[in-house]
Structure 1
């Protein structure tokens, strides 16, 4: 019987290589495996219960690893005896190829079967062997994916505590002072303002003021009187003004009319 195939495993090649050499991982992955113990770095003993068609038997045997090329390839060979059910003897070449962040496991199996198992027919034996291989790789891939996840978690750095968030303190901004110009009614009147006192003389530096009463403020100087308007030209010449003699003339005319009429 010959069988070849390949399976992609979502784990690094180094992790898959360790799994293929771990007896506990292999025991949980091989269908019907009851025990699997490592007796030397390259030898293991196992007991497996298998059912092929109507024949069910427990096989005990020895497994040997050879052609070791870690972590790329090796050859696994062994022989199992099932008493009256027959025996199985053969080996497999296993190769690991890196495939991105995963590993491609390629295998080629050659086996010889004798006893009652050989009488069941090649089709039945091949179908059973293929099913056992599919079950093995499904379980083995799950084991490797979990191991890769655990290794990534262990190697990840511990999260650092979040730094305290600094709350910015608002800086008070002084309000802008708006200067409103005074209205015409509120504007100061310079016409009614009090007179500004004359500046007092400043004593020279180092001089001492004479003792005595404080000087009285200078009296306010009254403005000079406005000159009277000049008299009319007639008054300046010594004659009567036109208004006086015209009035007198009218009075005389009225008196004469009164007496003669």
Structure 2
């Protein structure tokens, strides 16, 4: 399938990969593991219903993300595109619901489901910020790191995507894995699989999922979000959108 964005398009019962001038997207952490209930509660599932298509139809899709402020979710910029595939600063679907603080999506007694009401796009990276209709006060947002990870550092990723690029479908339980930093560019953190396996990687519907460093009592720090990579699982290079060098923009928007 080649490289692809980490969000999947579903229309008329068919599934296709969505592209935005980057490589393709990822699934719910291939060859990862389930997250223990309550861990990484800042992780977010975005469910889009009724996205307009170029032929006048509708499609459904999903992305992952993370709560970075009580009323803001960070995700991939390509998660919000119009019928022509152009990134836009508005919700594009008839309904976009953020599920926050729910490890098991089937357990509706926990967490929140909140509508997305506005979108802001980074002018330099495949990153967007989605505003919730109301703030969430009982989930601690993840801090946005202002320092880039170094080559060789291990970072963790979470997501609700698929576990394979073959007939992909989102999972109902948050999954996670670790990847190793392989390189940096001005806008991208390059990563390769580390654990539980060497081919632990994001998959379709993982677009926008958080990559973060774990710092013990200081808490996790966000360093990038899932953007694109080869068909999963894979042992090649994954390209994540850096956030450390747009931390000022993120603070400005979310404040």
Instruction: Compute the TM-score of the two structures, normalised by the length of structure 2.
Output: 0.23
Larger helix percent: 1
Q: Which has the higher contact order (CA 8 A, sep 6+)?
A: 2
Instruction: Compute the TM-score of the two structures, normalised by the length of structure 1.
Output: 0.23
Instruction: Find the structure with the greater CA-based Rg.
Output: 1
